[in-house]
Chain A
Amino acid sequence: MCVGVPMQITEINYPSGVAEAKGVKREIGLQLMPEDTLQIGDHVIVHVGFAIEKIDRELADEIWDTLDEVLQMMDEEEKGA
């Protein structure tokens, strides 16, 4: 529930927008970020459908590497359980 995922903003219709991660697009809320700080192409951390902070691309990739590992481990655990 509390896991934040990095996504890239593809559309802005403030106070909402669309962001993408791993080829999946999702409508997100942008109310927690000032409008003038956001641009299409920005990477943000998204919690329960809301962008909470901007991050750079490199960090977004690093976080995804960790998340991928965790998700894979959880998957294996589930299959094994």
Chain B
Amino acid sequence: MNKTQDIIKAIHSLVPPDRNLKIMNVCGSHEHTISFSGMRSLMPENLELIPGPGCPVCVCPESDIIHAIQLSKKEEVVLVTYGDMVRVPSKKGSIRTDGINFRIITSPSEAIRIAESEPDRTIVFFSIGFETTTAPTAAILETGIPDNLFILSSHRLTPTIMEVLVKDREIGIDGFVCPGHVSAIVGSNAWNVFSEKYNIPTVVAGFEADNLLLGIMEILLQVKEGEFRTTNVYSGVVRPEGNEQARKLLDKYFKVSDVNWRGIGHIPASGLELREAFSDRDARKLFKLEEIREEKIPGCICGNVVLGKAYPADCRLFKKSCSPKSPQGPCMVSGEGSCNIWYKTYK
């Protein structure tokens, strides 16, 4: 018998027969592995693997997308952002369909190069994502950015949204598989709150199927023992204290702020904005951007998908009018979005 089969067998023997369990993953890459490997079909019937808020593109507020589109229409501005962001729909279209001056970048360093090569224009870097993309933006600020480069920060904090989920009884999470690379930054200790305060078995796992299965097995072991801890099965990458230098830079340039999550609403202390000392680099301040009221996308239940309250297949638009080629909601856009992943794997 091989290792994978051994772990799956152990998972079956550890699942308590008399209760339904929900284990949530909080990372698009985990959902990818689970869906593409067909892992769900190998699990016991009373064990659900639910995707959670692992897709930053999915939760970026509509307001920021509309601002990005509008900024790109200003003659003096070039908007730069990651590829997925240009396809996210809003009531004013997407950056790709309705924006004018925009460029796709794959790294914050490219924003610097564009700003240097076009010194007469104002470059706005629409910087989004969880800790793995916030830290690189902090890194370019540390090195120093050209005077004509400004940041439109739409960064979000993973631990905060997870705490919101834990408190929501409707979801009823029995275990967390925490994101591997976010953990490399924040450290596995960042998740101790879930096992210690909320008694939720918590693991940090990598993206390889066996490693994820190992994480699931560890959660079930904790359920069985009734003892809760945060276990790191991805210790080749993740240290308990995380990447201290990255965390220091994050803290130097960004401060925690109250922000909106698309389809979910306002969540206190769940986002990051530039600190006052660097507000001269803040595109929100430069252009005096005000929050625009979000409009619900008719039929789209993306917010509930992100919160683990619904599966993509529960949406009546899924695989009908909503597809990666014609996304109706944000969860269908990025390869980390649950609807996008399920589109390719759900039969």
Task: Give residues in A with beta carbon < 8 Å to B.
Answer: 1-4, 15-16, 27, 29, 31-34, 45, 47-50, 52-53, 55-56, 59, 62-63, 65-66, 69-70, 73-74, 77, 81
- A35–B96 Cα distance when bound, in Å, is 39
B106 touches A48 (CB 8 A): yes
How far does the Cβ of B306 sit from chain A's closest Cβ, in whole Å?
Answer: 14
Of listed A45, A47, A55, A63, residue having the most chain B CB within 10 A:
A47
- A18–B125 Cα distance when bound, in Å, is 23
A52 touches B33 (CB 8 A): no
Interface window among B163-171, B205-213, B219-227? B205-213
B side interface size, CB within 8 A: 48
Look across to chain B and name the residue whose beta carbon is closest to the beta carbon of A47.
B132
Q: Determine whether B148 belongs to the interface, using a CB cutoff of 8 Å to chain A.
A: no
- A6–B311 Cα distance when bound, in Å, is 31
Supply 5 A–B pairs (Cβ within 8 Å), ascending by A.
Answer: A2-B29, A3-B29, A3-B336, A4-B132, A48-B132
Residues of B within 8 A of A34 (CB): 245
Look across to chain B and name the residue whose beta carbon is closest to the beta carbon of A56.
B236
How far does the Cβ of A6 sit from chain B's closest Cβ, in whole Å?
Answer: 9
Residues of B within 8 A of A56 (CB): 236
Contact with A along B35-72 (1 / 0, CB 8 A): 01000000000000000000011000000000000000
B245 touches A32 (CB 8 A): yes
Knowing A1-B129, A33-B245, A47-B133, say if A52 contacts B142 (CB, 8 Å). Answer: no
How far does the Cβ of A15 sit from chain B's closest Cβ, in whole Å?
Answer: 6
How far does the Cβ of A39 sit from chain B's closest Cβ, in whole Å?
Answer: 16
Contact partner, A32, options B29, B82, B139, B336, Cβ 8 Å: B139
